[in-house]
């Protein structure tokens, strides 16, 4: 175990489990026909059902069920053909019904796994305990009035998937890797947009510490952490806090805590004494949810290729290294871009252009792969120009920069700027003659055994031809002339 | 007299243009004007011009020959059904001024069928009660009196306002809801017919929930045929209610009058409760004899878990109600009692907005669902509920319907049975088991006790077999020939 | 088991029904009576019996993922005891 906290009494390891709330991508809410679009006018996307008017009843959205099943399949998890909805009862201003409809006793998805990759290249499997569907709550706005909070129910009733991991995580870095991998899978599946800033993915972090080989000690739950970096920080500071308590002879209380990123500390939100008593019971408004194996199979057959499979395929199909393939599949849009460029071309050359020059250009221009000034087809055409000898690699850099700047196609740029590679041996020979005349002293040095000067002559010839000479032809002709 | 008709008679009269829907509506508005102060059957009476406008529209359709199933028939609506633009209170202070911006599915169907709504009838607060004494808008008076005794009697509950209105001529029929007997018991107490359909037959959308797995809307009428007619208008698939059945709705009214010869009628031994009044037992025997004469085969059956029905009900119904009523928090609708904190608003609003019976049931339900008690109470009750349902399923392998008394007594007086909640709950002893199983059950008035109060018998049928229940009910009705009228009646002394 | 006042108070708190101590005692007695009566269920043998959930007559129907509702803020806010602009309002809550 690489991450340990060295305390006064010895080394401590950390034990972490994550509960991720992922907002389901769907047009309408889990149990009502109101829209789920982000950022609408307050309370405009609220039905009488969402506002829990008397006599209103829930009817489940089939697409939300499908999204949960797809996600379960993407997590290599067991799909439960019969699941149920329970009510989780508590009072809060953002919870109109006075209960949240959730799946407590019989979730739709059971055990699964996620394989994560660490910075050192090692991989680890993290167990998934379950995935269940539930309703999101509304939103309270506190900054509009000194004495009142405003209630906006637009988000109330939007479908969430709660994805619960086993307490398998042993390092802050693993927690980060887990969340990135989970987000990647969700995005590939199109079941959640994974946008933590907009709150469409949030994590509750369960942290405890123990000496190696001990059973689990008391854990604390840190609620609603909204970035991967904060999750890793929260684990570090919370684990350190717990170690200090244990080592000073204290006892860690099981409680719910909040992470204050500004102060870099966690603090009590709810102690065990005022822990909620949620009084879960089966929702009598909803019958058991029964799905057919054939439907699950059909959803499975229609799943997109997931990152792990795509990475393996990129390695074998395009002959690129594991690491590069990992960089490409991190985002589906990048993987798709790459594949368009690489299809029928040199995969290795394609990866160096995509992860090298293209990424640098995106970085420099503040664009994303979706808004890239150079599209995949154009980059592919440019690689074709290299392959057929129209331009050489050096000129290609210049062509590419022009493409970034102007958005024009590579052929047009080559023509416009006259960058076509020189393969005319007469032109090349003339250039060599001219260089050898200008640098007669260097020719003599070379001929007296200073082999290293060969590179100098190549450079001078390229300069003479404005970089357009075919480097292979230059090499051959120069060698024969100098060695003559 | 127009206020004394059955739905079927009134429909025929309108069709033949013997009288107009306007005259029919006006007669009822007049009767309400004369008697509602005493009976307190209606919490809200609709404005006269609205009622008459609806009646005029019905008349126009009759004239054009386009009359619908319930066209022009004046009915009362239990004040638990949300009615668009019309105050809907659930007889609670909590909703004293609640005007829903929507129409419940059942009342929307009734309106589509041409019914003319007269007003919203009184009930026990949030339908919790068996005597209609928990209404925030005052008790309902049973229009019946004991012979030689002027004591005020309860109409039963929770649909007491509907029962009293139909019995006293303040509506030709009314909607009720039944969770553990709330249609059948008041129907029996007031000498009318009440039908609790199979769970899932009528949509629950827009009806204020008490206990979701039990609540079911149904008709309260003056004849069995009327119950069939009105159920036909109320029932049907509703995509907005996940528990609504998409089975086709038969022409229920046609089931009445069909021969019952050869049908097997089960007599469950366990309903012979110790301490059952002699008169009730006698009426039950009489009912058995009538059905035998009509050609039914009478079979003794056993429903061994009957005696646990009530205790099971008084765990499950409060549990569901504690959760269903959490939405009454003073934030989005209903009354709010102000306080400095959010919890303060919740606690004051709910302490003052709910009456004692509702509060007690919420607390009971909260308790049986709370950590440490769930298994002992709620889970156990759900398992016993399975056994109760199995009893019915097994009995219906041998028989077509069951015949039992509807209630263990005739209507009692205000003040009786009121100190001990368990004593009050015992009123539902015969009606609760069918609710727990979700099967249809009908109460038919069959006679008077020695004090002159009506008694009802209950016919329980298989899931979605209301037709057989109605056929047997029709046979019983024909044999009993119940034609008694209560002391307070729109036609008395006019 | 008999119901004590502390439990009654905890239950009332959970249900957000604010009762004075005298009222709590009345409630405690009523509930204790009912609980004593429902204890009769302990004599029923339910070994191996599954709990009945709802009335189990049909499987859950699922609707299509179409926006059919919402956009009715006026109706939603029409019954609110207190509101401000497009919002419901409550006393300031801080967590």
- Where among A270, A297, A324 does a domain terminate? A297
Whether complex ipTM tops 0.85: yes
* Chain center to CA of B162: 8
- Where among A278, A297, A316 does a domain terminate? A297
The predicted model gives B422-437 an average pLDDT of: 91
The CATH H-level (homologous superfamily) assignment of domain B2-265+398-480 is Amidase signature (AS) domain (3.90.1300.10)
What residue segments make up the domains of chain B, in order of their start? 2-265+398-480, 307-381
| Strand duo A201-210 + A139-141: pairing | unpaired
| Strand duo A220-225 + B74-78: pairing | unpaired
Kindly report the nearest CA distance between residue C82 and chain B, in angstroms. 7
**Same domain for A381 and A276:** no
Say what the alpha-carbon torsion angle B331, B334, B339, B343 is, to the nearest 10 degrees: -50
User: Which of A41, A44, A151 is nearest residue C88 as measured by Cβ atoms?
Assistant: A151
Nearest CA in chain B to A59: B242
Residue B376: pLDDT band (50, 70, 90) is very high
Residues of chain B positioned with their CB less than 8 A from the CB of A87: 323
Residue A438 within any structural domain of the chain: yes
Residue B422 pLDDT greater than 60, yes or no: yes
Share of chain A above pLDDT 90, in %: 78
Tell whether B243 lies on the interface with C, counting CB pairs under 8 A: yes
**Same domain for A161 and A125:** yes
Give the separation between CA A10 and CA B431, rounded to whole angstroms: 69
Pairwise CB contact (< 8 Å): C81 & B331: yes
**Same domain for A92 and A210:** yes
Share of chain A above pLDDT 70, in %: 99
**Same domain for A24 and A63:** yes
**Same domain for A367 and A240:** no
Tell me how far CA of residue A405 lies from CA of A113, A353, B46, in angstroms: 45, 16, 74
CATH of the domain at A461: 1.10.10.410
Quote the pLDDT of residue A235: 97
Q: Are B7 and B229 within 8 A, CB to CB? A: yes
Residue B147: pLDDT band (50, 70, 90) is very high
Q: Which of A95-104, A382-391, B442-451, C42-51 has the lowest mean pLDDT?
A: A382-391
Quote the pLDDT of residue B273: 73
Q: What is the pLDDT of residues A7-17, one digit of tens each?
A: 999 999 999 99
User: Which of A26, A42, A145 is nearest residue C65 as measured by Cβ atoms?
Assistant: A26
Q: How many residues does chain B have?
A: 494
Quote the pLDDT of residue B421: 77
3-state secondary structure chain B: CHHHCCHHHHHHHHHCCCCCHHHHHHHHHHHHHHHHHHHCCEEEECCHHHHHHHHHHHHHHHHHCCCCCCCCCEEEEECCECECCECCCCCCHHHCCCCCCCCCHHHHHHHHCCCEEEEEECCCHHHCCCCCCCCCCCCCCCCCCCCCCCCCECCCCCCHHHHHHHHHCCCCEEEEEECCCCCHHHHHHHCCEEEECCCCCCCCCCECCCCCCCCEEEEEECCHHHHHHHHHHHCCCCCCCCCCCCCCCCCHHHHCCCCCCCCEEEEEHHHCCCCCCHHHHHHHHHHHHHHHHCCCEEEEECCCCHHHHHHHHHHHHHHHHHHHHHHCCCCCCCCCCCCCCHHHHHHHHHHHHCCHHHHHHHHHHHHHHCCCCCHHHHHHHHHHHHHHHHHHHHHHHHCCEEEEECCCCCCCECCCCCCCHHHHHHHHCCCHHHHHHCCCEEEEEEEECCCCCEEEEEEEECCCCHHHHHHHHHHHHHHHCCCCCCCCCCCCCC
Give the separation between CA B71 and CA B21, rounded to whole angstroms: 8
**Same domain for A86 and A122:** yes
Residue C40 pLDDT greater than 60, yes or no: yes
Pairwise CB contact (< 8 Å): C53 & A288: yes
Q: How many residues does chain A have?
A: 484
Residue A398 within any structural domain of the chain: yes
Residue A384 within any structural domain of the chain: yes
Residue A392: pLDDT band (50, 70, 90) is confident
Residue A6 within any structural domain of the chain: no
Domain that holds residue A478: 425-483
What is the DSSP code string of A63-113?
Answer: HHHHHHHHHHHHTT-PBPSEE--EEEE---TT-TTSEEEE-SSS-SB--EE
Q: Are B429 and B408 within 8 A, CB to CB? A: yes
Quote the pLDDT of residue A275: 67
**Same domain for A265 and A140:** yes
Mean pLDDT of chain B: 96
Residues of chain B positioned with their CB less than 8 A from the CB of C30: 360, 421
**Same domain for A219 and A160:** yes
User: Which of C14, C34, C63 is nearest residue B370 as measured by Cβ atoms?
Assistant: C14
**Same domain for A171 and A251:** yes
Q: Are A161 and A67 within 8 A, CB to CB? A: yes
Tell whether A284 lies on the interface with B, counting CB pairs under 8 A: yes
Per the structure, the count of domains in chain A is: 3
C-alpha dihedral sign at C40, C42, C46, C52: positive
Q: What is the pLDDT of residues A28-82, one digit of tens each?
A: 999 999 999 988 999 999 999 999 999 999 999 999 999 999 999 999 999 999 9
Pairwise CB contact (< 8 Å): C53 & A282: yes
Give the separation between CA A309 and CA A337, rounded to whole angstroms: 17
The predicted model gives C55-78 an average pLDDT of: 89
Residue to mutate among A25, A41, A49, A140, with most C CBs inside 10 A, is A140
Residue A5 within any structural domain of the chain: no
Given the residues B139, B158, B322, B435, the one annotated as active site: B158
Q: What is the pLDDT of residues A267-299, one digit of tens each?
A: 998 766 666 899 999 999 999 999 999 999 999
Tell whether B26 lies on the interface with A, counting CB pairs under 8 A: no
Q: Which of B332, B364, B362 is nearest to B345 (CA)?
A: B332
Residue B395: pLDDT band (50, 70, 90) is very high
Residue A423: pLDDT band (50, 70, 90) is confident
Residue C55 pLDDT greater than 70, yes or no: no
Given the residues B20, B92, B135, B182, the one annotated as active site: B182
Tell whether C52 lies on the interface with A, counting CB pairs under 8 A: no
* Whether pTM exceeds 0.90: yes
Please confirm, yes or no, whether B223 is among the known catalytic residues.
Answer: no
């Amino acid at each position: 175990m690489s991450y340990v906290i060295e305390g006064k009494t010895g080394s401590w390891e950390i034990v972490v489990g994550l509960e991720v709330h992922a907002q389901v991508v769907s047009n309408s809410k889990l149990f009502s026909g109101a829209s789920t679009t982000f950022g609408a006018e307050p309370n405009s996307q609220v039905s009488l059902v969402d506002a829990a008017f008397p006599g209103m009843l829930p009817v489940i959205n089939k697409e939300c069920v499908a999204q949960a099943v797809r996600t379960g399949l993407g997590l290599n998890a067991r799909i439960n053909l019969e699941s149920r909805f329970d009510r989780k009862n508590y009072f809060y201003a953002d919870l109109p019904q006075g209960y949240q409809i959730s799946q407590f006793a019989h979730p739709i998805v059971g055990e699964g796994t996620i394989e994560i990759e660490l910075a050192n290249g090692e991989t680890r499997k993290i167990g998934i305990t379950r995935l269940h569907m539930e309703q999101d709550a509304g939103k309270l706005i506190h900054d509009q009035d000194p004495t009142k909070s405003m209630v906006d129910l637009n988000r109330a009733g939007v479908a969430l998937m709660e994805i619960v991991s086993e307490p398998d995580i042993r390092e802050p870095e693993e927690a980060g890797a887990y969340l990135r991998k989970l987000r990647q899978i969700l995005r590939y599946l199109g079941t959640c947009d994974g946008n933590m800033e907009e709150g469409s993915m949030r994590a509750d972090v369960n942290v405890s510490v123990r000496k190696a080989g001990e059973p689990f000690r008391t854990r604390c739950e840190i609620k609603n952490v909204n970035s991967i970096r904060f999750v890793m920080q929260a684990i570090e500071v919370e684990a350190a806090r717990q170690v200090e308590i244990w080592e000073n002879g204290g006892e860690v209380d099981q409680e719910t805590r909040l992470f204050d990123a500004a102060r870099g500390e966690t603090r009590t939100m709810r102690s065990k004494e005022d822990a909620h008593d949620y009084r879960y019971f089966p929702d009598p408004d909803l019958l058991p949810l029964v799905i057919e194996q054939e439907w699950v199979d059909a959803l499975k057959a229609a799943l997109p290729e997931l990152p792990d499979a795509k990475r393996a395929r990129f390695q074998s199909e395009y002959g690129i290294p594991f690491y590069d393939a990992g960089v490409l599949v991190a985002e589906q849009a990048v993987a798709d871009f790459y594949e368009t460029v690489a299809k029928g071309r040199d995969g290795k050359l394609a990866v160096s252009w995509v992860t090298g020059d293209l990424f640098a250009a995106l970085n420099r221009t503040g664009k994303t792969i979706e808004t890239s000034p150079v599209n995949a087809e154009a980059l592919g055409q440019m690689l074709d120009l290299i392959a057929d000898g129209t331009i050489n690699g050096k000129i290609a850099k210049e062509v590419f920069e022009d493409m970034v700047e102007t958005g024009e196609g590579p052929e047009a740029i080559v023509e416009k700027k006259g960058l076509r590679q020189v393969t005319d041996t007469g032109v090349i020979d003339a250039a060599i003659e001219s260089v050898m005349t200008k640098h007669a002293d260097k020719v003599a040095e070379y001929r007296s055994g200073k082999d290293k000067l060969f590179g100098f002559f190549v450079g001078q010839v390229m300069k003479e031809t404005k970089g357009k000479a075919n480097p292979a032809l230059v090499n051959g002709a120069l060698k024969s002339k100098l060695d003559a | 007299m127009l206020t004394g008709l059955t739905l079927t008679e009134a429909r025929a009269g309108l069709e033949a243009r013997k009288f107009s829907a306007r005259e029919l509506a006006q007669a009822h508005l007049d009767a309400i004007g004369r008697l509602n102060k005493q009976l307190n059957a209606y919490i809200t009476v609709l404005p006269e011009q609205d009622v008459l406008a609806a009646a005029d529209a019905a008349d126009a359709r009759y004239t054009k020959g386009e009359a619908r199933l319930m066209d022009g028939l004046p009915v009362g609506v239990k004040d638990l059904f949300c009615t668009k633009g019309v105050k809907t209170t659930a007889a609670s202070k909590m909703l004293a001024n609640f005007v829903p911006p929507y129409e419940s599915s059942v009342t929307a169907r009734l309106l589509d069928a041409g019914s003319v709504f007269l007003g919203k009838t009184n009930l026990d607060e949030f339908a919790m009660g068996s005597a209609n004494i928990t209404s925030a808008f005052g008790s309902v008076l049973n229009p019946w009196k004991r012979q030689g005794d002027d004591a005020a009697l309860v109409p039963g509950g929770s649909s007491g306002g509907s029962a009293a209105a139909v019995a006293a001529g303040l509506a030709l029929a009314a909607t009720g809801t039944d969770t553990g007997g709330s249609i059948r018991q008041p129907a029996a107490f007031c000498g009318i017919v009440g039908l609790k359909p199979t769970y899932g037959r009528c949509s629950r959308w827009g009806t204020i929930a008490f206990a979701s797995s039990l609540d079911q809307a149904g008709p309260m009428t003056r004849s069995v045929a009327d119950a069939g007619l009105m159920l036909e208008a109320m029932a049907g698939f509703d995509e907005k209610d996940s528990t609504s059945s998409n089975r086709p709705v038969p022409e229920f009214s046609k089931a009445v009058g069909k021969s019952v010869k050869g049908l097997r009628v089960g007599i469950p031994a366990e309903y012979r409760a110790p301490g059952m009044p002699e008169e009730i037992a006698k009426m039950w025997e009489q009912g058995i004899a009538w059905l035998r004469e009509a050609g039914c085969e009478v079979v003794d059956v056993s429903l061994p878990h009957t005696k646990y029905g009530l205790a099971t009900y008084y765990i499950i119904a409060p549990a569901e109600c504690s959760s269903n009523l959490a939405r009454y928090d003073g934030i989005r609708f209903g009354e709010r009692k102000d306080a400095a904190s959010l919890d303060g608003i919740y606690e004051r609003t709910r302490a003052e907005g709910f009456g004692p019976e509702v509060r007690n049931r919420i607390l009971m339900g909260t308790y049986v669902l709370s950590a440490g008690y769930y298994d002992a109470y709620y889970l156990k009750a759900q398992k016993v509920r399975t056994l109760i349902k199995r009893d019915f399923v097994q009995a219906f392998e041998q028989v077509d319907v069951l015949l039992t008394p509807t209630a263990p007594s005739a209507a009692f007086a205000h003040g009786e049975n009121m100190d001990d909640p368990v004593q009050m709950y015992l009123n539902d002893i015969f009606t609760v088991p069918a609710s727990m199983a979700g099967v249809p059950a009908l109460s038919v008035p069959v006679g008077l006790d020695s004090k002159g109060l009506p008694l009802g018998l209950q016919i329980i049928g298989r899931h979605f077999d209301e037709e057989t229940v109605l056929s047997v009910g029709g046979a019983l009705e024909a044999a009993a020939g119940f034609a008694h009228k209560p002391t307070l009646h729109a036609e008395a002394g006019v | 088991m008999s119901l004590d006042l502390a439990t009654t108070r905890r239950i009332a708190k959970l249900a957000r029904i604010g009762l004075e101590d005298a009222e709590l005692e009345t409630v405690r007695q009523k509930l204790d009576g009912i609980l004593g009566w429902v204890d009769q269920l302990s004599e029923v043998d339910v070994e191996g019996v599954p709990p009945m959930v709802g009335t189990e007559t049909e499987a859950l129907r699922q609707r299509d993922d179409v926006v059919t509702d919402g956009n009715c803020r006026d109706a939603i806010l029409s019954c609110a005891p207190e509101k401000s602009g497009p919002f419901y309002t409550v006393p300031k809550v801080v967590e």
